[in-house]
Chains A and B, each alone.
Chain A
């Protein structure tokens, strides 16, 4: 749809997320992570989730809190192990969570492919490493490439800076990170923003995520 719904609360924004859903969660560490939306998802109660995010939670808030609540069956990420990833580390070592490690650029590009209608792509990243095991390898222009498949979500939870009431989004500094890519790659895209402005309130030249990708927005000042 070309027009997003402006939700009155984060709880309204995450309504309907189903058990077993694949949820794309934006952010690089805490920058751009939509913590209030994740808190709402914890209250909403969906479980057995597959989460796609760059990291596997920091500290005890946001994604880490969702993991701690036992709602996540599997994490697909590039970099789970950090100095403050104790929640994930504990679950992983107890065998209570699955992990799929994907090179960071491949993670982004697999979502980009899903959002762009690309069936698969050959990528030189990871050739000859354990992360290419079991994947088709093909030589193109004298270089080996690995076949990578698209990665799509049922839902994306992203943090942006400002939205207009149509759902056009602008971001702020490096908090942009995965937001624009995830916004293209999920069936239902839910964006948390610091401010919702009237239609015409964003410079069209500066819009990063066009409203066509965005389904629900919620203002969290």
Chain B
């Protein structure tokens, strides 16, 4: 297992592990000014709440829109205006609509700066597994996950570091069916942030645990 502490040291930022809102704020901190960003369904959508208004970030939703606004409420709800999770949303000034082939051409063509997705497992070399458990009774459903994984210029994963059975989700090699090979650049978890690459994972910072203890729990 190749997980190394950052050579400049690994600060423990907080006494407690992060909750999902603090994790979302952490990811929002690292999104560059003016970036075009796709936030996956589920927890990554929380990141939008933590982007400063002056961040200039443009949200892309793969069902065909740039400059997507926040969730719609009450009379704002329009069945023709939803996000990738089929939740009613709003449009911001400067919004643009486009069809699906164009929306995914934007991804594959390298026009999207960042995407953030959840994951079942990520390998230390950046392989991603987040679409299918492979269980015999599971119904496979991939959506845009494979297109985002290979298309976005930077792929961030936001997930809990350990599965419900206590096993690490950052692993030497994914046991679940893959979504993409060597595509994840960084993993944000409630206990630490990891940069991934061909040489393995590098632990950058921790929350609620020391680097030594976390690396030990990961078997690194």
Give A92 to B140 CA distance when docked, in angstroms: 11
Contacts A31-B86, A176-B64; is A105 near B139 (CB within 8 Å)?
no
Give A175 to B88 CA distance when docked, in angstroms: 12
Q: Which of B99, B178, B180 is packed against the most chain A CB atoms within 10 Å?
A: B99
Q: Is the CB of B104 within 8 A of A109?
A: yes
B143: chain A residues within 8 A (beta carbon): 78-79, 103-104
Would you give the shortest CB distance from A62 to chain B, in whole angstroms?
12
Q: What string of 1s and 0s marks CB contacts (under 8 Å) between A88-124 and chain B?
A: 1100110000010111111111011000000000011
Residue of chain B at shortest CB distance from A29:
B86
Contacts A125-B108, A174-B63; is A32 near B80 (CB within 8 Å)?
yes
Q: Is the CB of A175 within 8 A of B80?
A: yes
Q: Is the CB of A31 within 8 A of B107?
A: no
Contacts A31-B63, A80-B139; is A109 near B101 (CB within 8 Å)?
yes
Would you give the shortest CB distance from B99 to chain A, in whole angstroms?
4
B16: chain A residues within 8 A (beta carbon): none
Would you give the shortest CB distance from B66 to chain A, in whole angstroms?
11
Q: What's the dominant secondary structure at chain B's contact region?
A: loop
Give A91 to B197 CA distance when docked, in angstroms: 42
Residue of chain B at shortest CB distance from A83:
B86
B179: chain A residues within 8 A (beta carbon): 129
18 contacts between A and B (CB under 8 A): A29-B82, A31-B63, A31-B79, A54-B100, A79-B142, A103-B144, A104-B147, A105-B107, A125-B146, A125-B147, A128-B180, A130-B178, A131-B142, A173-B80, A173-B91, A174-B63, A174-B65, A178-B100
Top 9 nearest A-B pairs (CB, nearest first) are A105-B104, A105-B147, A29-B86, A81-B141, A108-B100, A175-B80, A128-B181, A79-B143, A180-B99
Binding site for B on A (CB under 8 A): 28-32, 54, 58, 78-82, 88-89, 92-93, 99, 101-109, 111-112, 123-131, 171-181, 208
